[in-house]
Amino acid sequence: MSAAPRLKAAVLGAAPLLFVLLWSTGFLGTKGAARNADPFAFLTVRFVLAALLMAALTAGLRAPWPTRAQAGRAAVTGLLLHAGYLGGVTVAIRLGLPAGVTSVLVGLQPLLTALLSGPVLGETVTARQWTGLGLGFAGVLLVVAGRPGGGGTLSQGALLAAGVALACTTAGTLYQRRFGAGMPLLGGTTVQYLASAGLVGGLLLAQGGGTIHWNTEFILSLTWLVLVLSVGAILLLMRLLRDLPAAQVGSLFYLVPPLAVLEAFVLYGERLGWWSLLGLALCVLGVALAAQPAAPPARTAGHG
């Protein structure tokens, strides 16, 4: 194998870990942005900027644009994975649901994805993968339980918003896996952000507008979220959903809360208890098991 194919194989092999690392930083960026802006105003600006960047990349690289049918499917994916998921999480936290509790609720996504990937996508989930998914979820619970200051008020509205986020990210993962094959990556992602900006912007107008404080913290947070999350991490996610089974991709999300906790420890000095450390180990073990693909069926003797 020449150097170029080896390099390409190494990059593709590192894509899942890189995606988890980038995605985990979104919690820190969102914290900085949400302290200075109304959720719908912040998300509208983020989606518009991301759409403009993706459109520029598509045009600059002369990448193909989706057909009308593909654009419709890309819009559905965007409304679920961007507007629905990020909007639900942001509203839940704004309504008082603790970030740790929100992470646990949304952390059910890999289990729901695995549960539904069989009847919806016809993918096989092995007993080892189910074991890994269960260990991963138990690890998320322990990580959040071990964080100091995890209390908070659980209002019905906040729980409903978190439930919407969970449903949207699960449905978006399955929908993209089933209907996203052949979708132009750059042009399709541009459509996703345009659809999301339209929905969130409409909600912003319906509530009478929102306030943004354009200070250093907000600008730095927004820049990071747009460039690293909305462009880099989302393109990685679309690629992973194209190349890997939905349950295998879903299991990667179990590593996001533990990494976010570690990043908060480094940046903000939040200490990790023993339960959190045990949870981190369970998450890593769970993802290692769940990420193993199902073995191909044994070949029958006498067949080529």
Structure tokens at 109: 């996504």
pLDDT band at residue 134, thresholds of 50, 70 and 90? confident
Q: Indicate the range of 141-150, 220-229, 248-257, 285-294 predicted with least confidence.
A: 141-150
Cβ count near 42 (within 10 Å): 25
Average pLDDT, the chain: 80
Q: What angle do CA 122, 128, 134 make, to 5 degrees?
A: 95
φ, ψ of residue 293 to 5 degrees: the values are: -70, 155
The C-alpha atoms of residue 157 and residue 95 are separated, in whole angstroms, by 7
Contact (CB, 8 A) for 61 and 187: no
Cα gap 202→287, rounded to integer Å: 38
pLDDT digits (tens, 9 = 90+) for 8-52: 555 556 788 888 888 888 877 877 888 888 989 999 999 999 999
Per-residue confidence (pLDDT) for residue 152, from 0 to 100: 46
Per-residue pLDDT averaged across 279-288, rounded?
76
The per-residue pLDDT for 11 is 54
Q: What pLDDT does 49 receive?
A: 96
Q: What percent of the chain has pLDDT over 70?
A: 84
Confidence (pLDDT) at 74: 94
Tokens found for residue 197: 């900006």
**What is the predicted pLDDT for the residue at 64?**
94
Q: How far apart are CA 34 and CA 209, in angstroms?
A: 15
HEC secondary structure over 251-297 = HHHHHHHHHHHHHHHHHHCCCCCHHHHHHHHHHHHHHHHHCCCCCCC
Gap between the Cα atoms of 202 and 193, Å rounded: 14
Per-residue CA distances from 92 to 27, 50, 166, 188 (Å): 14, 23, 11, 28
Q: Which pair of structure tokens corresponds to residue 132? A: 């890994």
What is the per-residue pLDDT for 302? 44
Residue appearing with tokens 């729980």: 159
| Separation between Cα atoms, residue 38 and residue 34, nearest integer Å | 7
Average pLDDT over every residue of 127-133: 82
What is the reported pLDDT for 293? 59
What span, in angstroms and rounded, lies between the C-alpha atoms of 189 and 40?
20
Across the range 49-60, mean pLDDT stands at 94
Tell me the whole-structure pTM to 2 decimals. Answer: 0.76
